[in-house]
Amino acid sequence: EEQLVESGGGLVQPGGSLRLSCAASGFTLSNFGLSWVRQAPGKGLEWVAAISGSGGSTYFAAAVKGRFTISRDNSKNTVYMQLNSLRADDTAIYYCAKARPATGKAFDIWGQGTMVTVSS
């Protein structure tokens, strides 16, 4: 079964950092792009960042550009997102989502999400 599992969420103070992981099983993650999508409590979905299958291209939402980075270790079938300079409005469930093959513009497999809470 194709599956994504996120980890690394938790409670962090404003200005702090976290590293989220997204581990794939049942398929080779390097063949696909991957995005992070977040959902603040009671709110809608917000695309955050994306990385190409090779890792050569990365994209970020304006709200996180310069604070978040995304990388991948294809040998571990895992994608990471480093969250720095965290703010209260970064509080959300963070989902990783696999891009469909070919065009890669839709997300066909989602993880269960990991909660990030930014609070003092």
Partner 1 sequence: QAALTQPPSASGSPGQSVTISCTGTSSDVGGYKYVSWYQQHPGRAPKLMIYEVGVRPSGVPDRFSGSKSDNTASLTVSGLQAEDEADYYCASYAGNNNYVMFGGGTKLTVL
User: Of 22-61, which residues contact partner 1 (CB under 8 A)?
Assistant: 35, 37, 44-47, 50, 59, 61
Of positions 2, 17, 100, 119, contacts partner 1 by CB under 8 A: 100
Of positions 41, 56, 89, 103, contacts partner 1 by CB under 8 A: 103
Shortest distance in whole angstroms from residue 110 CB to partner 1 = 4
User: Nearest Cα to 24, choosing from 111, 120, 107, 112?
Assistant: 111
For 25, residues 6+ apart whose C-beta sits below 8 A from its C-beta are 1, 2, 3, 5, 77
By CB under 8 A, name the binding residues for partner 1. 35, 37, 44-47, 50, 59, 61-62, 95, 97, 100, 103, 105-108, 110-113
